[in-house]
Structure 1
Amino acid sequence: MPSASPTSDAPLPRGTGQRLLVVDDDPRMAELLETTLGLAGYTVATAGCGAQALSAYEAQPPDLLVLDVMLPDMDGFRLCRRLVENGARLPVLFLTARDSVEDRVTGFAMGADDYLTKPFSLPELLARVHALLRRAGRSAEESPLLRFADLSVNERSRRVRRGDRLIALSPTEYKLLRYLLINADQVMSKEQIMDHVWQHRFGAGVVEKLVSRLRAKVDDRSPALIHTVRGFGYSLRLPGGG
C-alpha cells in the first residue's frame, strides 16, 4: 500500500482541476488514489478494468492516465497500446508491483511516460503526476507549431504531419520526434534521448527500437529526415546536411 508520510517539508504540488483517470482493480487502492488526488486539486475518475477504462476515456478523455499493470481483463500494457492505437495522446503513469527491467522496458515501449513501483509514497505520486502534467502543459504553451522541411508538429493538438499526410504516433514516439525536432541538425546521443524521453537509463537497444519505429512512420517518403550518426547518436536533418 502507498505511504502517506511526506519525505520532506516542501509543500506538495497541487493540481488545478486537470482530469485524471485512475485504473486499478483493487477498490481500496482506487478509492485511496481518488481521494488523495482529489484533495490535491485534480478531477478524478476511476475504472476497475480495461473495458471500463476504454469507456471512460471515450466519454471524457483525461489529461493523464494512472494505470495499474495487473488488471482482470487485460494488462495495463495492452490497455495502453489499445488507447494509443485509438489515437490517445496523454501522459501515462504506470503503477505496478512488477519491478523487473523487462517489465519497465515493456511499459515504456507501450507509451508509458513514468513508472512507479508499489509500495510508493503518496507525496512521490503527487510529485510525479504534477511533473508529467507540467511537461505536457509546457509543450502546449510554447510555440504551437514546429516545422522542419515538410515535417510539422502541432503542439496544441499533438498532430504530426509529413506534407499533407497525418502521422499517428504513440506518446513515446511523439516525445522522441519533438526532441529531435527542437534540436534539428544537432546530434543527440542515446543517453540524452533516454534522459529526455524516459528519465531512465536502459540498454542502447531500447532507443534503437524506438528510433526504428519512428523512422518507419516519418521516413516512408523521401527525403529521409532521421539519420544515424554512427558512434554518436541520431539527428533530424536533410540528407547531406551537417
Structure 2
Amino acid sequence: MQNTEYRIAIIEDDPIQLESLVTALEQQGFVIEAFSDRESAEKAFAEKLPNLVISDIILGSEMDGGFDLAKHLLSYNQPIPIIFLSERQSEFDIYTGHALGAIDYLPKPISLNVLIVKVKNLLRITSSNSSAEQDDEKSKIAELELAPDQFRAYWHDKALDLTATEFEMLKQFAIAGEGSVITYDALQKSTQGVVERNTINTHICRIRNAFKKITPEFNLIHNEYGRGYSWQNKEE
C-alpha cells in the first residue's frame, strides 16, 4: 500500500492546528480529508470510511466530540484506527480513548514528527499484514481463531471487539501458544511501535475485557512480572 492510497480523516476545530496537520501529512503523500466538526465528518464517513482517523476530543461546543465520533465509528463494525490529540491528559480520558478504539492518545501541543512516524508505522502494520503468509498466522490456542486479513479474532466462534493494534498484540499469544511469555518488547514490536511501552497494560486490559464480554470468567492472560504476559490457565 502506497501513501497515496491511504486516506486519513483529520477532525480539529482550531483552523490553524488543522492546517498544520493537513500540510504535514500531505507533504508525506497521504490523502487527507479535513473536518472542523463531528457532524460533517460523520456525513463523509457514511459515503466512504477512511483508513485512519486523527481527532481532537473537544470539538467546538462538544466537550466529548471526539469520543462521540469514535462511538459512531464503532457502529460500522469495521476496525478504524483512531489517534486522539488532546490537552486533556487525565487517566480517565486516556483510558476512555483507548476503550473506544484509539491506537494512541497524544498530548497537545502535538509533535508533528512523532505523529508522522506513528502514522507511517501504522501503515506498515496494515500493508505487511495483507501480504503475510496465512499459514504462519494460525492460532495454536484452542477456541481462538484469527482472520488476519480482516484484523479479526474469534473466541468460541464469536468476534472479539478489538482495534487493529490490539489484534496484532493478541496474535502474538495465538501464534506462540499457551505457556509462552510474550515480552513487552515483542508486544511493542508487533505494532511497529504504534503502541508505547507505557500503554501496553491499557491495551492488555482492553483485550481481556473483550474476552470477558464472551466468557465472563475469562482469566487466561497473566502478567509475568518484569517480562511481559503469558496465556495460560493458572491460579493467581
For 1:59-78, list aligned pairs within 5 A. Answer: 59-72=47-60, 73=62, 74-78=64-68
Question: 2:37 touches 2:59 (CA, 8 Å); kept in 1?
Answer: yes
The residue aligned with 1:24 is 12
Q: Counterpart amino acid of 2:231?
A: L
C-alpha distance in 1 between matches for 2:89 and 2:205:
21
The residue aligned with 1:161 is 154
2:139 is aligned with 1:151: no
The residue aligned with 2:231 is 236
2:218 is aligned with 1:213: no
Question: 1:153 touches 1:159 (CA, 8 Å); kept in 2?
Answer: yes
The residue aligned with 1:89 is 79
Using CA pairs below 8 Å that are at least 6 residues apart, which structure has the higher relative contact order? Answer: 1
2:126 is aligned with 1:132: no
TM-score, length basis structure 1: 0.74
Query: Any idea what the Cα deviations from partners look like across 1:185-222, whole Å, max 9, x if unmatched?
Result: 21336786578673131596x4663243122145469x
Q: Which moved more, 1:63-72 or 1:135-144?
A: 135-144
Q: Counterpart amino acid of 2:127?
A: G
The Cα of 1:18 is off from its aligned counterpart by 0.9
Question: 2:82 touches 2:101 (CA, 8 Å); kept in 1?
Answer: yes
Question: 1:194 touches 1:207 (CA, 8 Å); kept in 2?
Answer: no
Q: Residue 57 of structure 1: which of 35, 45, 56 is its match?
A: 45
Question: 1:180 touches 1:235 (CA, 8 Å); kept in 2?
Answer: yes
Consecutive unaligned residues in structure 2, runs of 5 or more: none
Q: Counterpart amino acid of 1:235?
A: S
The Cα of 1:57 is off from its aligned counterpart by 2.1
> Aligned pairs, how many?
223
The residue aligned with 2:131 is 141
The residue aligned with 1:180 is 173
SS in 1 for 2:13: coil
The residue aligned with 1:200 is 197
Q: Counterpart amino acid of 2:125?
A: R
Judging by fraction of residues, say which structure has more helix. Answer: 2
Consecutive unaligned residues in structure 1, runs of 5 or more: 1-13
State the superposition RMSD in angstroms: 3.3
The Cα of 1:48 is off from its aligned counterpart by 2.0
Q: Counterpart amino acid of 1:90?
A: I
Q: Counterpart amino acid of 1:98?
A: R
SS in 2 for 1:147: coil
The Cα of 1:117 is off from its aligned counterpart by 1.9
Question: 2:98 touches 2:203 (CA, 8 Å); kept in 1?
Answer: no
**Residue 157 and residue 207 in structure 1: after superposition, are their counterparts in 2 closer, same or farther (change >3 A)?**
closer
C-alpha distance in 1 between matches for 2:8 and 2:57:
17
SS in 2 for 1:160: strand
Q: Provide the identity percentage.
A: 26
C-alpha distance in 1 between matches for 2:175 and 2:103:
19
